Amino acid sequence: MAKFEHKLTDMLRPAVEEVGVELLGIEFVSAGKHSILRLFIDHENGIDVDNCAEVSRQVSALLDVEDPISTEYNLEVSSPGLDRPLFSLAHYQAVVGETVNIRLSLPLNGRRKFKGILNAVENDMLIVTVDNEEYELVFSNVDKGNLVHNFEK
């Protein structure tokens, strides 16, 4: 996650938690007038449209006051969905044994994309098996990661 996204997460987390839900993470997709600030929220009982609307109201008010984004953008608030994005080491730890997609900021052995079984999380390393080969990925080099839902379970 980029430094800017970390700053936004720290700023918005209290407003989201005030609604009674967890802020899993934030993505900011910079595209000029079509930029998107995407918040992923979750709750042990699931997320519904009312949760998203309430978080959107709370966050919008805070963003209007703090004004941390200088360009135009659209705010999107949603549940993580089946292909749950993974933002922290704890998120990865919770899905050990599952299939994940991971994209690195800097290539490892000439590749940036890894889709395979997450075998373990050790310290700041993600240990992933891709095509019968094991890779140790440094968490700080992860640009983006998500769970790959297996419909056959």
CATH architecture of 89-147: Roll (2.30)
Homologous superfamily of 3-78 in CATH?
RimP-like superfamily, N-terminal (3.30.300.70)
Q: Which of 134, 3, 144 is nearest to 85 (CA)?
A: 144
pTM (two decimals): 0.85
| Fold agreement (3-78, 89-147) | no
Structure tokens at 15: 């407003």
Structure tokens belonging to residue 64: 């209007």
As a whole number of angstroms, the distance between CA 116 and CA 101 comes to 7
User: How confident is the prediction along the chain (153 residues), in pLDDT tens digits per residue?
Assistant: 568 888 899 999 999 999 999 999 999 988 888 899 999 999 999 999 999 999 999 999 999 998 888 888 999 999 998 889 999 999 999 999 999 999 999 999 999 999 999 999 999 999 999 999 999 999 999 999 999 987 665
List the chain domain ranges.
3-78, 89-147
